Homo-oligomer: A and B are copies of this chain.
Amino acid sequence: MTRVTVWGENVHESTSDRVREVYPDGMHRVIADALNEDSNIRASTATLQEPQHGLSDEVLNKTDVLTWWGHCAHDQVSDEVVERVHARVLEGMGLIVLHSGHYSKIFKRLMGTSCSLCWREAGEKERVWVCQPSHPIAQGIDRYFEIPNAEMYGEPFGIPVPEEQVFISWFAGGEVFRSGATWTRGNGKVFYFRPGHETYPIYYQAEVRRILRNAIHWATPTTPRWVDEAPNVEKVEGAE
């Protein structure tokens, strides 16, 4: 049983009628529901508005994989919480960064780069292509899948070179984007996944939900915590 915390910024949901219409209980709720369709996943939610943004030590210690969606309130996430999440990722907690989460403090903290990109909101068609058909995150997906109306994200994407390139997107307007990529940080596995937007019903789409569940399983830690330290060590007997 993988324990997941779905983190949602949960701001657009209260400020935009359009977003409330698509996600009446919040995007985090829909994402958690998508994950809970898998009986081996137990997903809870946490939001910006809760004390400690819902990410106390207690919560994080019981979280195997954290998913992160934020957009307009990245700056309101406290640095203390970011450091706590960062430490847990290095220990082994998986992290799935979604869509506009590319600009979250935690993703930039883990990547060490700007994480910038180009964008356009024109409701255009996106095709998400599988670059590595054998990757666990791509299982159950055909050669590609389509999102009828999506915000466009375009290259250059300001990331360190990915360890694995799982998906690349094509946009009707003429751009491309590295939509699914992985990195390792300490004992933690990190997956960035582009699709998802507050005004399009993308998190209801079957392929997206399947990929999210796949990603949870892929990012679940399989080994004990890596307790990071810098010990002063004695000379080992018999080295010379």
Contact = CB atoms under 8 A, between A and B. Distances in A.
Contacts of A119: 230-233
Interface residues of A, number: 73
B134 A187 contact: yes
A103 B230 contact: yes
Contacts of A176: 127, 129, 168-170, 176
B113 A131 contact: no
Nearest to A110: B112
Interface stretch (A23-31, A64-72, A151-159): A151-159
A160 B139 contact: no
Given A90-B113, A130-B156, A232-B120, A164 B165 contact: no
Interface string A110-147: 11111011111110110101111111100100011000
B168 A184 contact: no
A183 interface: yes
Contact of A135 (B120, B162, B223, B230): B223
A75 to B, nearest CB: 14
Given A112-B111, A112-B185, A186-B114, A235 B154 contact: no
A59 interface: no
A interface: dominant SS: loop
A174 B235 contact: yes
State the copy count for this chain: 4
A189 to B, nearest CB: 10
Question: Which of A144, A176, A183 has the most C-beta atoms of chain B within 10 angstroms of its own C-beta?
Answer: A176
A18 interface: no
A132 B112 contact: no
B114 A112 contact: no
A238 B158 CA distance: 26
Interface of A: 90, 92, 103, 109-114, 116-122, 124-125, 127, 129-136, 139, 143-144, 154-158, 160-165, 168-176, 178, 183-187, 221-224, 226, 228-236, 238-240
18 contacts: A113-B185, A117-B230, A118-B233, A119-B233, A120-B232, A120-B233, A120-B235, A121-B232, A122-B235, A127-B239, A131-B155, A132-B156, A133-B226, A144-B236, A170-B175, A172-B240, A173-B235, A175-B233
